[in-house]
Amino acid sequence: MQSKNWIGGEWITPSGKEVTVKNPSRLTEEIGVLHLSDRSHVLEAQQAARSAQKSWAAQTGAIRGEILFQMASALEKHADDLASLASREMGKQIVEMRGEVMRGVNLLRYYAGEGMRANGNLIPAADTNVLQYSRRVPLGVVAVITPWNFPVAIPIWKIAPALICGNSVIWKPAENGSLTATRLAEIFAETKLPAGVLNLVIGKGREIGNVLTDEADIDAVSFTGSSETGKQIAVACAGRNIKYQTEMGGKNAAVILADADLDKTVPILLSGAFRSAGQKCTATSRIIVEKAIYQPLVERLQTAMASCRVGEASDPAAYLGPVASAAQYETVNKYVSLASEQARLVAESPAVDAADQGYFIRPMIVEGVSADHALVQEEVFGPLAVMLAADNFDQAIELCNQTVYGLSASLFTRDLASAHRFLDLAQAGMVRVNQETAGVEYQAPFGGMKLSSSHTREQGQVALDFYSEIKTCAIKYAW
């Protein structure tokens, strides 16, 4: 497969640099070629988005919603093909990848319905015969910049609310998800989405991403990715006074109290830490345990890890696939080496068959490092979790909050008072009890505190607040 840009309804293959894409599960298999864009393609996309936006905004919400329903149906029709391509491109295990595509279908339907919901408030006026109300209006052209780890769901949870609010979109996906992005745009091209309302530009972040954020005539940026890139984008957008949201990294903790049901807790911990090879912003990467049950939990984790098998992403029986790329393999292995030098192994999964065939990393849980160690403080974004012991609930909360990040946090307990205290005290945008740190539902607000976010939220109805502005309208209809 070849990547393509989709600009103003036309398919364009840039003639510049090319990158061969290999399957991270099987490095001998080439699955396609990326054709990288340059500045001129970004500016063409910006012009196309700008000229399409007014007439798109002038459509009724019902019509925009109908087109989003068409996008959902087209995606559902091609769900298996798209999941298979994405799984071969970035290594997510196929069953999980199908689940991700279906989340995309559901998100499109959810936001399609918003086209027919109230989009303002009636506000009393102090004067007589005055009708005063607020209504949402679109921002204009929105740049959507996405990471590779959810190559279908994250773009859709930005594009769908942006479109239903009446914006046009320029989408720049991560390089590692660009074949999937091309196919997704082809699927959307089967619908009646007007030309130029959604534009796709394939290329490298540092070569074209910054043309979008620093130079192109846009009205907002919605970014998900690393905290380092997010901070640069925030500075660029603040300098231009355009609206931005940056959803970034995490170092999510699961806290296990002495009264937790350990048999039920262990599978949830493993899923949170190792599904998607730990490459979720909401992955569980710190396991904070009350001392009284530390050893029994270790024993259960050791037993459970035996069934946490790494395999090719196309294998539905594999618990996890490879990490996504050579760069990810190198970064995560640096932390694995650090762990083998400075920490003690608690549990690991069985050795990987044909380990050198792809970017496979064996999941592991380690212990024996202090709370300020790099393994406890830095986002690994791979299948490596660290255990810490806490004397009691208060110390567990202190450890949980001792990080620059604040995306997601979970508590495992049978005690209702502890559950409520945790939901009050944990400094994270998503706080959960007896549930994974990952897996927040699409109809609920998603986002983080501290360095995990620029403090807006995505998904659910709250996403509409980012993709629109409020206009206050007042009319004196009789003197």
Residue from 247, 290, 312, 436 in contact with ligand NAD (CB under 6 A) = 247
Do the beta carbons of residue 158 and residue 172 sit within 8 Å? no
Yes or no: say if 45 and 7 are a contact pair by the CB < 8 Å rule: yes
Binding of ligand NAD at residue 168 (CB under 6 A)?
no
User: Could you tell me if 126 and 120 are in contact, meaning their C-beta atoms sit under 8 angstroms apart?
Assistant: no
Measured from the CB atom, is 125 or 374 closer to ligand NAD? 374
By three-state DSSP, how is residue 39 classified? helix
Using CB under 6 A, pick the residue from 92, 172, 300, 309 that binds ligand NAD. 172
Distance CA 425, CA 174 (A): 35
Would you mind telling me the total number of residues written for the chain in this entry?
Answer: 479
Is-contact 254 410, C-beta < 8 A? yes
Instruction: Work out which of 155, 250, 272, 322 binds ligand NAD, going by CB under 6 A.
Output: 250
Residue of 464, 459, 399, 446 lying closest to 426 (CA atoms): 399
148 near 324, Cβ under 8 Å?
A: yes
Cα gap 1→15, rounded to integer Å:
16
Query: Which backbone phi and psi does 349 adopt, to 5 degrees?
Result: -85, 170
Catalytic residue flag (residue 281): yes
Of 24, 32, 104, 209, which one interacts with ligand NAD (CB under 6 A)? 209
Q: Could you say which of 46, 232, 265, 418 contacts ligand NAD (CB under 6 A)?
A: 232
Per-residue contact track with ligand NAD, 133 to 152, x per CB under 6 A? ------------xxxxxx--
Give the residue among 254, 244, 198, 197 at the shortest CA–CA distance from 223: 244
> Under rule CB under 6 A, how many of the chain's residues touch ligand NAD?
30
* Segment interacting with ligand NAD, rule: CB under 6 A, options 47-55, 63-71, 220-228, 290-298: 220-228
Q: Is 210 in the site for ligand NAD (CB under 6 A)?
A: yes
Cα separation values, 104 from 33, 73, 209, Å: 25, 11, 24
Joined tokens for residue 198: 């959604």
Site string for ligand NAD, 33-62 (x = CB under 6 A): ------------------------------
CA–CA–CA angle 70, 74, 78 (5° rounding): 170
Which 419-478 residues touch ligand NAD, going by CB under 6 A? 448, 452
The answer to whether 311 contacts ligand NAD (rule: CB under 6 A) is no
Selecting among 44, 165, 237, 281, the annotated active-site residue is 281
Q: Which of 114, 175, 247, 290 is catalytic?
A: 247
Cβ count within 10 A of residue 132: 16
Catalytic residue status for 247: yes
Q: Considering the rule CB under 6 A, would residue 245 count as an interface residue with ligand NAD?
A: no
Least Cβ distance, residue 357 to ligand NAD (angstroms): 23
Segment contacting ligand NAD (CB under 6 A): 228-236, 263-271, 306-314, 349-357? 228-236
89 part of the interface to ligand NAD, by CB under 6 A: no
Q: State the virtual CA torsion across 166, 102, 187, 141 in degrees, nearest 10.
A: 20
180 contacts ligand NAD (rule: CB under 6 A): no
Binding site residues, ligand NAD, CB under 6 A: 145-150, 172-174, 205-206, 209-210, 213, 224-226, 229, 232-233, 247-250, 281, 379, 381, 407, 448, 452
- The set of catalytic residues is 247, 281
